[in-house]
Chains A and B, each alone.
Chain A
């Protein structure tokens, strides 16, 4: 392959990637404008709150409790190398609230919610239900997309907050029952060490991750190709994109909150 054709291929790839970013950005803008203007669909919104928020609680709780417990064990084992076992409550708290809570909840939401939204909307597209909505004077952006993204914007920060608490509780349970920490001292250290900014950053990350997860599910669902393969491809791409964007957004938000 000549250098020129390699350059041309790279250029095409770069242009393709930029065009994809542009399409997603336009879709996100369109979603927010549809969120703000009537008609509103309270039933769809309520169902989305249930699906994205309430029904995600078990997986979020389990993920958080095991992560918090494992974190306590790791910090204790690592800290023991230089007589710093006592920092377990502080590191579990800061680790869960600043990073692991939002990121793990975000990734679990990407796995559970993004895939489900993408598969549902893609199936609706393939079976002409989206076209049917249009012929019934119903805008799919308003009926399908806006309620889901709004529900994710509201519920994922709550899930992150709950995940943070359950994760800390997991660390507490392991520290108190297995590592002989004093229960009251553990809780006092946790509360004393956490700052409001830690909690705020956690919840703000949750809001961003929720929007990313729901928007990617809706976008890839609406862009789905034909047939079962189209639905499968849309679902896979939506989860990949959501996971990568959540990790990238986490890096940027961490920088914004704690490094600038």
Chain B
């Protein structure tokens, strides 16, 4: 008898349920994300994509089910050490208004277990800003002084500042023009490959899916309706997925008009 020597998936969601009052958002969601791969979760608005992502981080507590990170139950052990493995790009950037850009990027490096001297933290922040295509003169500006695209880049720089093993991207191209969306998609892909990180992205944007994903999962009615490699997206034979990726109003997914 041979034993399975393959490493556990970096993230595993096993029968996860979450309801808000009578609204049952996740209804037994199962998902597995291999180490070092980029998983993109697609699905309509309000299907629970953000809830799934926040459940992994412990920002939302599931009602039932298990979530494992690197083979261990999420939330077990030291919370700081657990969160230090993650970076996250929020939908609206979620930059701290009162802090200049470099302090936003270096936030994790200025406090807690990853604390560095201020000079070193600033140097790392400027290097990460450069990595996402921003010049050093942006470092001392406030987030409100930046365009939407620049704020996304700063959010991306913050997400990678502490070289996390796992990076989450929540609607990374929402609110950006197509050209800036393309730039952000390319940056995400480059950075994830370069860092060897495991990525989990949620988006509606099919151009993001094709640019970022190794694997795609579609969330519908609280469960994963379809999951597979991005190359199989157009030949899935799944009517739900087909309707979604082609943006058709007619199909098994009922659009609210």
Contact = CB atoms under 8 A, between A and B. Distances in A.
A138 B94 contact: no
A137 B113 CA distance: 9
A128 B91 contact: yes
Contact of B90 (A39, A131, A137, A138): A131
A137 B84 contact: yes
Interface residues of B, number: 26
Contacts of A134: 57-59, 83
Interface in A29-47: 39, 41, 47
B63 to A, nearest CB: 19
A128 B98 CA distance: 15
Given A137-B80, A137-B83, A137-B84, A131 B111 contact: no
B92 interface: yes
Contacts of A41: 111
Contact of B92 (A47, A127, A135, A138): A127
Nearest to A41: B111
B112 A132 contact: no
B116 interface: no
A132 B90 contact: yes
Contacts of B92: 127-128
A131 B90 CA distance: 9
Nearest to B155: A132
Interface residues of A, number: 14
B112 A39 contact: yes
A129 interface: yes
B189 interface: no
Of A41, A47, A127, most buried by chain B (CB within 10 Å of CB) is: A127
Interface string B68-106: 000000000001100110111011101111100000000
Contact of B88 (A129, A135, A138): A135
Contact of A136 (B59, B91, B97, B107): B107
B62 to A, nearest CB: 16
A41 B111 CA distance: 9
Interface in A103-162: 124, 127-129, 131-132, 134-138
B86 A135 contact: yes
Given A39-B112, A136-B108, A137-B112, A131 B96 contact: no
A132 B111 contact: no
B204 interface: no
Contacts of A127: 92, 94
A132 B91 CA distance: 11
B94 A132 contact: yes
B111 A128 contact: no
B131 interface: no
B54 interface: yes
Contacts of A129: 94-97
B160 to A, nearest CB: 13
Interface string A36-76: 00010100000100000000000000000000000000000
Interface of B: 54, 57-59, 79-80, 83-84, 86-88, 90-92, 94-98, 107-108, 111-114, 158
5 contacts: A39-B112, A47-B98, A131-B90, A134-B58, A134-B83
Given A128-B92, A134-B58, 19 more contacts: A39-B111, A47-B98, A127-B92, A128-B90, A129-B94, A129-B95, A129-B97, A131-B54, A132-B88, A132-B94, A134-B59, A135-B59, A135-B83, A136-B83, A136-B107, A137-B83, A137-B111, A138-B107, A138-B112
Q: Which 7 A-B pairs have the closest CB atoms?
A: A132-B94, A128-B94, A137-B83, A137-B80, A135-B88, A128-B90, A136-B108
Interface of A: 39, 41, 47, 124, 127-129, 131-132, 134-138
